[in-house]
Structure 1
């Protein structure tokens, strides 16, 4: 009997500790309970030389990541609204050592994202996120570019998510 009372009390205390003003997840993210919806506008491709599909792929990746929050995603005017543009997309060859050819190529992508919190406007922000990915120089860019873009999108979307919800 006494053991059941101790366990019940412990469970109750843990429940109170986990509840509060914000909703926390085991990823370190915290979600404002007043945010009832998220919207993601199309991320435009304003970067010279970027493939035409890069904006579509990045927008979809960001939407998929926001679905992991368990906050409903809607088409527009969410309590938390994301919009942005791809501002730079560069393809470069990494500097070779003297007398050698380069063994690495690099794609670098920069995006400007604005997060508009319509519930708590003081949490609005705009930030540029830049990520790159290297790949072997002997790989044909036309063959690997979509895979590399998806890898870049994963990195950038994680940065946007962390800026929005993991405020360490």
Structure 2
């Protein structure tokens, strides 16, 4: 009885070690020959000019790649290049109250156009737009909540970009 339990625990231990060797927690499926990345600044070309949006988005995207990959940032002949622009930063009413023209909630939407170039695997190159939103109470002014909302939206857009590039989903 005890011998069977020891065999099961030992087998479980070896299977776990084997699986950890096959999978990284970042889910990265980047070719190991890819060593360098360049993430260019994402200028804000939207009609609404939030002063920190470009810097905040670019920095958060760079941090994601620095923290979750082994890629080295470079400006000289990178293996992969990520660039683009913020094309939309807009507030719109949602959840209109019945019998009234007044919105219960407003929605902040951010859209980012991305161009991804992989010099070692050109078949992976793409151009794509990513968009996400966050709702907030219409009693709030956008200027008072935009930093917190922008941070949440940026993180979700960055998750999508990161997954498309690194996880290859």
Q: Same fold (TM over 0.5)?
A: yes
Structure 1 regions of 5+ residues with no counterpart?
19-23
Alpha-carbon contact 2:35-2:70 (below 8 Å) kept: no
Q: SS of the counterpart of 1:49?
A: coil
Render the CA deviation track for 1:5-29: whole Å, top value 9, x for unaligned.
x98xx58x938x72xxxxx422433
Indicate conservation of the 8 Å contact 1:40/1:76, yes or no.
no
* CA contact 1:35–1:79 (8 Å) conserved in 2: yes
Q: Distance in 2 between matches of 1:77 and 1:121?
A: 15
RMSD: 2.4
Query: What TM-score comes out, normalization by structure 2 length?
Result: 0.82
What's the secondary structure of 1:87's corresponding residue? strand
* Deviation of 1:76 (Å): 5.0
The residue that corresponds to 1:21 in the other structure is none
Give the count of matched residue pairs: 156
Instruction: Flag as ranges the 4+ runs of structure 1 deviating above 6 A.
Output: none
Distance 1:115 1:99 in 2: 47
Larger deviation: 95-104 or 80-89? 95-104
Distance across 2 between alignment mates of 1:70 and 1:39: 13
Per-residue deviation at 1:136? 1.3
Gaps of 5+ in 2: 1-6
Alpha-carbon distance in structure 2 between the residues aligned to 1:158 and 1:88: 18
Deviation digits for residues 68-122 of structure 1 (CA, Å, limit 9, x no counterpart): 2122222454211100011111111114132243221111111110111011111
User: 5 Å matches for 1:125-164?
Assistant: 125-164=126-165
Distance (whole Å) between structure 2 residues aligned to residue 29 and residue 132 of structure 1: 26
- Match runs of 1:1-168 below 5 Å: 14=18, 18=22, 24-67=23-66, 68-100=68-100, 101-168=102-169
